Amino acid sequence: MDFALTEEQQLIQDTARQFADNELKPIAAELDKTGNRELLLDRLNQLAELGFMGLNIDPQYGGTGAGTLAFSLAITELARGCASTATTTSVTNMVAEVIQATGSDALKEYFLPKICSGEYAAGAFCLTEPGSGSDAAAMRTRAVRDGDDYILNGSKLYISSGEYAGCFVVWAVTDSSAPKGKGISCFVVEAGSPGLIIGKAEDKMGQKASVTNFVAFEDCRVPAANMLGGENQGFRIAAGELAGGRIGIGSLALGIGLEAMDVARAYMLEREQFGKTLAQFQGLQWQVADKYTELESARLLLLKAAWEKDAGLPFGPTASMGKLFASEKANEACYLALQIHGGAGYTKEYPLERMARDVRITTIYEGTSEIQRLIIARHLLQGVR
């Protein structure tokens, strides 16, 4: 087994790391405090210019075409600098991949260059509703055929980048008589479409610069040609794309956890108590060793899932394992790093309190840890049968 990165993958990882160090870390605290939209959009545009908004998109549509493994590496490095920026980048890549995988040639030619180039500041993924989160098949948004169009009515909740997304991938029920989950279709809706209403932004605990909105559809007319995949095939599309998204969010959690531990490691070498540095206390040494070991294990799981996806192999269970393990261990890492800083870690002078808030959502969005365990268990039990 070859663990060496290709020259392209190494270049992407190095570029993402440099961008995080030079462009994201210096502004992360301000973005967290003020949500400075102009500053965030500027960095997103720079990332698009560097090719980070279409990492797994065919170059004929303006993408980088570097693959899922490169995507995972990039998101991990970006998350070290700013979790909000990394989240927006991850979701935008996921939206582009949905369109590439299931859209017609016309849809791919129209939407993908706009996403990859940064003409669209971001893409939005509209699945969750006020009454359906983990149980996505229980959605109530409806799409009714009317000639060459569908008319959408309903609402979506917790939609990342809603306020500045250029396009929305939207799931809606097209056959209410079908068994649960069987009558759902998927559409791509351009921002500014009549009847597409962007509601209030949530006041969140963390990742504050990544705007999260309520989105409503009131007699929103969408061309039938904007359907992604076949009619009533939307739930299958959602399941497949969420698996890919879990690689992104797991990689993001990994980046936050690694950065938190790196900050704590540096602090341990400086801070003195009882006449010696914190780094000289064996109890702390062992805790740090455990956390780095766990995070490295998470990295390997995520890269294995990314490799499986790039190779065209079934990757869903591995992606769930990677997302589950990375997000849980990253939360633990941020808590430990803050604890190592003592009272200082609880202040905004150090980035640990922000990281602890930013990392918390990673065990929830793109499928909670509980849902990941269900997916993994079902896969394992099916194997026994």
Longest dimension (CA), the chain: 79
Q: How many CA atoms lie within 13 A of 385 on its CB side?
A: 6
366 is annotated as an active-site residue: yes
Q: From the centroid of its chain, how far is CA 166?
A: 17
State how far the Cα of 219 lies from the Cα of 222, in Å rounded to an integer: 9
Rounded to the nearest 10 degrees, what angle do helices 25-34 and 37-49 cross at? 140
State how far the Cα of 120 lies from the Cα of 217, in Å rounded to an integer: 20
* The one catalytic residue among 77, 163, 259, 366: 366
Cβ atoms of 298 and 319 closer than 8 Å: no
The helix or strand, by DSSP H or E, that contains position 300, with its residue range, turns out to be helix 282-310
Q: From the centroid of its chain, how far is CA 362?
A: 9
State how far the Cα of 102 lies from the Cα of 25, in Å rounded to an integer: 36
3-state SS record for 142-209: EEEEECCEEEEEEEEEEEECCCCCCEEEEEEECCCCCCCCCCEEEEEEECCCCCEEEEEECCCCCCCC
Question: What 3-state DSSP class applies to 317?
Answer: helix
Q: What does the block give as tokens for 92? A: 């935008």
Closest CA to 81 of 255, 211, 210, 212: 255
What amino acid occupies position 109? E
State how far the Cα of 142 lies from the Cα of 170, in Å rounded to an integer: 11
What DSSP designation does 4 have? P
Read out DSSP for 331-385?
Answer: HHHHHHHHHHHGGGGGSTTSTHHHHHHHHHGGGTTTS-HHHHHHHHHHHHHHHH-
CA 77, 38, 164 angle in degrees (round to 5)? 85
Active site residues: 366
